[in-house]
A and B are shown apart, each in its own frame.
Chain A
């Protein structure tokens, strides 16, 4: 996994509550057996005026001029400002893959859905929870100033505004450690293989029916 330490980039809006993962990446693109290439189809039904198909060249599709991410001022944006309960619904990890592939490194919202939140950390994408009022303020400042940039410092756990003002955020110690160092958590868990084996032996004794093979 790629590491996340500090990031600075243009902020872009996804200004609606309860954005579900179907909206982030529609189902027809889930037929891919790869982890990459989802970026052109991020928010597909909002970005384009036609129905997208897997494997299609998106460069010739009619774009929706009303969708903010299509506006010139948000091109190259890498920090997404969002509203409450971002990423609800389906557990598809294709959602963070699409956001990452499109170039987003951090998402700031008042709240996230659990599975999506968890999936982000596995892909070097940082979901940041800030108070509703602060997120609202960031939205207003972003709308008011073209090229509005935010800096995210994971080590210090702060979001830094262009005027230098900072907002602290919480992040789990373990997730922070993995992100800062770009660590593969399977490798870390396997360091505890002896504990897993010991638990398994005990469980096999207490509940042997759980170990009967399905054929």
Chain B
């Protein structure tokens, strides 16, 4: 073992978010990693800090009409519409598989009504998962969801009510499609969120000029990928500087350097989404990239860089 290896081994990659210990600060983002099993052939799930599973609803959902995806400059637009087998099948079929691996399991939930969110939180509280991520930011479904997440009163009410049923750490995932993300984040914190994750996708549209119609069957969809990163970094910075609870940053991360930007801006952990589609090993690559950065600047722990951004005068 040479000196470099020694130093790398001394770097502490662990982070703790709302009581959940993650071996490294990289989590696969909801909707981009299925239930883990789809990627298990391509990447060692044991090397990923956590997996936020595909957004779950109380009942099975078929999702939106195709086409559900459009490629845009440095990004993609999607309108899957929360296709999933429902929370019960997730518990029966997917949790046992996920638990074979040493990685945190986060259940991302979405609903049409506050009651549905509460019921899911209650059911999942007795399931073998590490945390619940409240998806109040999906732009692709007609009823509920983002409607709860884009006003201070909406986010306060849903967070407070779900909190009462949720025995697991509660992460609230914010939508960027608001005027002031700070007041939304503060409202989530004040209403009992244990952590905040951001950003969900930015509402967008792509048009097929030859057909003179939107590319997506649903007309609009959520933009993700490198194109959204500067917006996501800015919002992560704004939120991290105003709340005391941990912030999980995401939006266009595909390398360790991308992740470092979010961590300097105040994120305790990051989620990797769209990059998984391009590179199935993206989560592991990001974790290794973070480690390399820490090594390069002689940091001993991830915590040495979290929120260490110094603004220009």
Q: Do A and B bind each other?
A: no
Taking Cβ atoms with an 8 Å cutoff, the residues of A that contact B are none
